[in-house]
Structure 1
């Protein structure tokens, strides 16, 4: 595949993800996986899982962080130089952000005039269950054999689940997760 064709394929894929990824980063995960793992094979399932984990710990939206990494990886894995990989990152990040920017500009122009309109209220209430379904789908996608390879993974999963249900302090969760990782998976 030529570099220009790869850039075009990356742009189209991430534009579609940005256009149809309602509900934010977690809701976009199934779309991202379908495009980059299942359809194009730019990264593996294990790499996708790693990207999700890294994207959660770095500043910024998950879709932007994953687009940046996938753009770089897809280009460099095809044998092109790292400089072209950086451009691949920019292409993907730009492509995933364009639909949101355009849609939000249009919505903001009309929303304040239509926010009390019953049709607008009905449209927004219909989107809520769909977004919950997309987030649940993302959670199920991450619960695969690669992520739960041994009892240690299950210990961490159950601990985080219980702490989340008990509404534990997020900073405490991050610190305890780091300690658990060091104890269960020493370098």
Structure 2
């Protein structure tokens, strides 16, 4: 359980991450992992990955991994500190920028900014995926399932629910 200083530090770190969350909260996973696992030692790498996987398996936005990681590090106060830290600045900034962007959506600068953010977002998501695969690198069945899921998601219109169900079945059967 985190003390008051740890909760404050988690809140402030999530506050900073919120402003860097280009492409969504999942893009902050590598930095959050570095902070809570490597720098602070609040969680192990496996605990971090399990927290993210649990949040991703549940219905709801990708942001849900933030309070789950906070909970794993500091219980309910940790979940609240992480979630509030992640939501406050991004919500205020999103509201202001959206209003401004709507008024200036046809300007050359806004169009260039949007086009430039596509590769940045893609790169951050790829790094997040690579980080989450690390604990599974010695489990070939898990890697095959992830690769197959990626290929099916990319090339077909199969519902992600079926891919999650197949992964859950593989886990239940002890293959992963």
Shared fold (TM-score greater than 0.5)?
yes
1:150 matched to 2:139: yes
- Secondary structure of the 2:136 match is coil
Q: For 1:109 and 1:161, how far apart are their aligned partners in 2? A: 35
Residue aligning to 1:79: none
- Structure 1 residues 174, 142: CA separation in 2 closer, same or farther (over 3 Å shift)? closer
Q: Once the 2 structures are TM-superposed, how far is the Cα of residue 148 of structure 1 from its aligned partner?
A: 2.8
> 1:169 matched to which residue of 2?
158
Give how far 1:115 is off. 0.5
Whole-angstrom CA distance in 2 between matches of 1:10 and 1:118: 38
Alignment of 1:70-109 (within 5 A): 70-75=69-74, 85-109=75-99
1:90-137 deviation per Cα after TM superposition (whole angstroms, max 9, x unaligned): 121111001111111111221221101111111111111111110111
Bigger CA drift: 146-155 or 43-52? 146-155
Q: Secondary structure at the match of 2:173?
A: helix
Which of the pair has more CA radius of gyration?
Answer: 1
Q: 2:128 aligns with which of 134, 138, 143?
A: 138
For structure 2, which runs of at least 5 residues remain unmatched after alignment?
none
Match of 2:106 among 99, 104, 116: 116
- Number of residue pairs the alignment of both structures matches: 175
In 2: Cα distance, 1:68 partner to 1:147 partner: 23
Question: Within the alignment, does 1:50 sit opposite 2:25 as a pair?
Answer: no
CA contact (8 A) 1:52 1:62 kept: no
Q: Secondary structure at the match of 2:36?
A: helix
How far off its partner does 1:12 sit?
A: 0.7
Task: Give a deviation string over 1:29-88, Cα, whole Å, max 9, x none.
Answer: 11211222222222111111111211111233333x22212322322xxxxxxxxx3122
Determine which of 143, 149, 158 is the counterpart of 1:160: 149
Structure 1 spans left out of the alignment, 5+ residues: 76-84
Larger displacement relative to structure 2 (163-172 or 91-100): 163-172
